[in-house]
Structure 1
């Protein structure tokens, strides 16, 4: 594991990861553009879920490159990267099961979102998350469900719209799983000695 952590902490690797995540974040906000135009201003921070998750990670990476730990962004990143990474993979698989087909962009989304979930967890031993960071990130993660499934600000589900209640239920428990994953991989590990 020490070898893997040495690669993750390498500054050249951090710069590469930063560039990739900036590109993914910008593309993600562009992808949400049509929906953001129709979104009331009060809901705007909570609609583009995946690019906001990668934005949190971008800020955490910038902190690493400055040799600082920005615990709030680290907590938000690990929870939301895991949640929306897994969520997108499951939704695309569900689309494939229901329709019998998936556009090539669906496979691209599955690969990129699986990578989101993995990268958030890989850096967990480097995070320095305090109790209040963890609490704010958990509230943000659960609050987002209210915005999506109470105020109906979720992404366009296409053929999956008829399963909206089941998707909302699944997403709530995925939020709980993401908070638990953050707790066991990042919050508890924040007392370890791994440093960037």
Structure 2
């Protein structure tokens, strides 16, 4: 089992694999910003940065991968990528499955969003041992993440899903606690790393 895990870790950290992952994330990021085009067209400029949540999360991860390929750790980008990839990855999966439960159907685009966003969360978790962020990076990322929730659910800048307009309070509440869970994961990872360094 240990040999298998070693081989797996070697594979996903191989330069060729990281380059492939970077290309995939660049494509997803560009498409994500395009997907938000119609919403951004009706958004006040002051909110632009807070609207395209998922593509911004994958953009963070693109910068992380670039750092790794250069032999560096962009620590703030690492924790922002970890928190937001898991948060918005799982959030989109839940929203689309809720749409399926409400309407009884989900088109091909919906299933594509389920698959792609689930893989966003998976890739963030896969690289947990590779991140090097510290506690202060987590605190900055927490402010960004919770501030984004405030902009989304108090200023109405959340992604356009019919189910959100049906259950705005419930989804806002769910999103807040999803943010907290992702922040706590990053917090415990930073604490665990500091503990191991002291041994």
TM-score, shorter chain, exceeding 0.5: yes
For residue 187 of structure 1, the aligned residue among 185, 190, 194 is: 190
Question: Partner of 1:14 in structure 2?
Answer: 18
- Pick closer, same or farther for the CA change 1:36–1:171 going to 2, 3 Å: same
Shift of 1:3: 2.1
Residue 64, structure 1, aligned to residue 68, structure 2: yes
In 2, Cα distance between the equivalents of 1:187 and 1:132? 9
Structure 2 stretches of 5 or more lacking a match?
Answer: none
Question: Partner of 2:78 in structure 1?
Answer: 74
Shift of 1:187: 2.1
Give yes or no for contact 1:125–1:190 (8 Å, CA) kept in 2.
no
In 1, Cα distance between the equivalents of 2:55 and 2:39? 13
Give yes or no for contact 1:80–1:141 (8 Å, CA) kept in 2.
yes
Give yes or no for contact 2:98–2:163 (8 Å, CA) kept in 1.
no
Per-residue CA deviation, residues 117-162 of structure 1 (Å, 9 max, x unaligned), is 0101111111110222111111111111100000001111124411
Higher relative contact order (CA 8 A, sep 6+): 1
For residue 24 of structure 1, the aligned residue among 24, 28, 39 is: 28
Give yes or no for contact 2:95–2:163 (8 Å, CA) kept in 1.
no
Range 123-132 or range 156-165, more displaced: 156-165
Give yes or no for contact 1:81–1:120 (8 Å, CA) kept in 2.
yes
TM-score by length of 1: 0.94
- Pick closer, same or farther for the CA change 1:95–1:136 going to 2, 3 Å: same
Question: Partner of 2:154 in structure 1?
Answer: 150
Per-residue CA deviation, residues 9-49 of structure 1 (Å, 9 max, x unaligned), is 10000000000000000000000011111111111111100
Question: Partner of 2:54 in structure 1?
Answer: 50
Question: Partner of 2:180 in structure 1?
Answer: 176
CA RMSD of aligned residues (A): 1.4
Shift of 1:181: 2.1
In 2, Cα distance between the equivalents of 1:80 and 1:189? 20
Residue 124, structure 1, aligned to residue 117, structure 2: no
Runs of 4+ in 1 over 4 A off after TM superposition: 189-193
Give yes or no for contact 2:135–2:187 (8 Å, CA) kept in 1.
no
Question: Partner of 1:107 in structure 2?
Answer: 111
Question: Partner of 1:37 in structure 2?
Answer: 41
Residue correspondences, number = 192
